[in-house]
Structure 1
């Protein structure tokens, strides 16, 4: 065979092989269902982003090990919004370009709201494990769900507790001016005001602040017995530490934004006695124990929203399996109108027609010193 003809045959064979490999690769990718996990993987709220990431990742691993979802393996794609609304929209648009069908996230309400608009425009179903502002599900978006409670529910628990236990005391309210922090503070204020308790101080601080001496002076001047904090652990812990250093012994109360061990690390010994609203501890549920053992094997200590993120994946998987479809719109319709209860690691979950869970998901905790000497939160 002439050398030139041999060369041409080899080239044709190589070309056919490349096409075959490309088609095989394409067929394989078509059999992979894309989920997105969006949250603050960096920045001040990265501790919560790690919780979301580990929860969703473990859930996807477990589904894939059992054969996948409706015959397809799930590919989990991570998006870091850094707790910033603009970056959240960027992550959402990236997910659209990647062909993501379902999103677990975001965490911060101020990020979830604009990001969810992108998902709605592109037919992507999203379940947030931690965004509690009522507006998230009050806008009539059929693709948006949350697996946590709402701030009007959380504020009701906090406001009623204040009215019952601090009836004749002086209450200050401080928030971080964010969608979450101010929203939660205002919901709590509304409830306690309605029950006859008027705050002696109402102040907002900026996220990222570190020197709260002016605020602490105002709290001291108000003679507050209780400081209600609407915000997350970073500023909350710093405010508490500086209060104690200045000799201000008012009790601090916060919401789920301080539900991480880092709050105690930032607040120091004065964290003892802090009050906090959060959902009933899912780690005590028998249905969560097998998953907790898997986290232990990975040397990851699940906190707060880890199991909420795991449960969000479970809900999508169960609904998709029930209807035999991976179409996000069909799954969303099933979740919203199917009237079903889904078995998850955080307990039984069902949704109303807004996309909210139907159970009231908040109780009161107190931060106390544990047997190992660390300070953690214990359900009252």
Structure 2
């Protein structure tokens, strides 16, 4: 999913025609335009494994895109939130003004996403999350929001699992258990 998210932003970047991300000395290879993609999510802390997986998926997509591109050199610019929605706005204040950054992969969690979405909307900086599933986040057409995700929201996931268990597996009795985390609660309520 992370590779899909990064590829989506890479394709969007190829069509973007602005001169804000010209190479500076050492910024690219062979006169190519450097295009930055922010990764926003946990790279340290208790949830680092989730962020590292997304970032590593981005690395694969960026390596493939760089091997094929004649005009652009893509770079990942990481911003560690530790999965903490309180840290997300401070990181956004660093990547939003960066003129090389054309898009964001992340944030990883719904709380982080909610915390930065107004600033990203204002800056018109497109984002795509591999894992922000809260049903309260926008589910809109691409031209109506900068927010995109590659995974269904909690309501769709919850309903999908319910339909699979009751209709596909023909289970007559089901017990629902959740851990009171925002993700678990969202699936349960869906």
TM class, shorter-length? 0.7 to 0.9
Q: Deviations over 1:113-155 (max 9, x none)?
A: 2222221111111011111112222478521111112211110
Given the alignment of the two structures, is residue 145 of structure 1 paired with residue 158 of structure 2, yes or no? no
Cα distance in 1 between the residues matched to 2:84 and 2:27: 35
Which of residues 165, 168, 173 in structure 1 aligns to 2:177? 173
Which residue matches 1:53? 55
Is the alpha carbon distance of 1:25 and 1:134 closer, same or farther for their aligned partners in structure 2, counting shifts above 3 Å? Answer: same
What secondary structure is seen at the aligned counterpart in 1 of 2:45?
coil
Q: With structure 1 as the length reference, what TM-score do the two structures score?
A: 0.38
Is the alpha carbon distance of 1:166 and 1:48 closer, same or farther for their aligned partners in structure 2, counting shifts above 3 Å? Answer: farther
Give the Å deviation of 1:172: 4.6
Which of residues 30, 33, 44 in structure 2 aligns to 1:31? 33
What secondary structure is seen at the aligned counterpart in 2 of 1:149?
coil
Given the alignment of the two structures, is residue 135 of structure 1 paired with residue 136 of structure 2, yes or no? yes
Cα distance in 2 between the residues matched to 1:54 and 1:27: 24
Answer 1 or 2: higher relative contact order, Cα 8 Å, separation at least 6.
2
Cα distance in 2 between the residues matched to 1:160 and 1:79: 38
Is the alpha carbon distance of 1:25 and 1:107 closer, same or farther for their aligned partners in structure 2, counting shifts above 3 Å? Answer: closer
Q: With structure 2 as the length reference, what TM-score do the two structures score?
A: 0.73
Q: Which has the larger radius of gyration?
A: 1
Q: For this pair of structures, how many residues does the alignment match?
A: 160
Is the alpha carbon distance of 1:27 and 1:177 closer, same or farther for their aligned partners in structure 2, counting shifts above 3 Å? Answer: closer
Unaligned runs of 5+ in 2: 1-22
Q: Deviations over 1:288-339 (max 9, x none)?
A: xxxxxxxxxxxxxxxxxxxxxxxxxxxxxxxxxxxxxxxxxxxxxxxxxxxx
What value does the CA root-mean-square deviation take over the aligned residues?
2.6
More helix by share: 1
